Amino acid sequence: MTEFYGMKDLSPNSFFELAERISKDEQVALKFMRTKSNGGWKKNGKLKSCNEKCRDNLYCSLTNSVNVDAKKCLGLNHFDL
């Protein structure tokens, strides 16, 4: 994983740095999306883009382990009624 994503180690700080790279770099986000589900995020056989909203979703889900906090990160209400 360190080599694949260019991480210095597997520390929490390195994973946070990866999340920040994902939020800013579409190519890193696409690489992550393609591998996180073993290609399961494909559309018509190939994932072609991950816009700012897509990258924000990835960043917030990677940096928050509690769903309410991830929603807060995205600026959403934590209750969906």
Averaged pLDDT in 10-residue chunks for the chain of 81 residues:
94 96 96 78 67 94 90 82 56
**C-alpha to C-alpha distance for 7 and 73, rounded to whole angstroms:** 24
| Boundaries of domain holding 61 | 9-73
What pTM value is reported for the model? 0.78
Residue 46, in any domain of the structure: yes
Nearest Cα to 22, choosing from 43, 47, 5, 2?
A: 5
Q: How many domains does the chain have?
A: 1
pLDDT in the model for residue 67: 86
> In this predicted structure, what is the pLDDT of residue 81?
56
What is the spatial distance between Cα 41 and Cα 67, in angstroms, rounded to a whole number? 20
In a domain, 35, yes or no: yes
- Is residue 4 in a domain? no
Q: What pLDDT sits at residue 77?
A: 81
Question: Can you give the pLDDT at residue 35?
Answer: 84
In terms of C-beta density within 10 A (0-12 exposed, 13-18 middle, 19 or more buried), how is residue 25 classed? middle
Tell me, yes or no, whether 42 lies in a domain: yes
- Distance separating alpha carbons of residues 32 and 19, to the nearest angstrom: 10
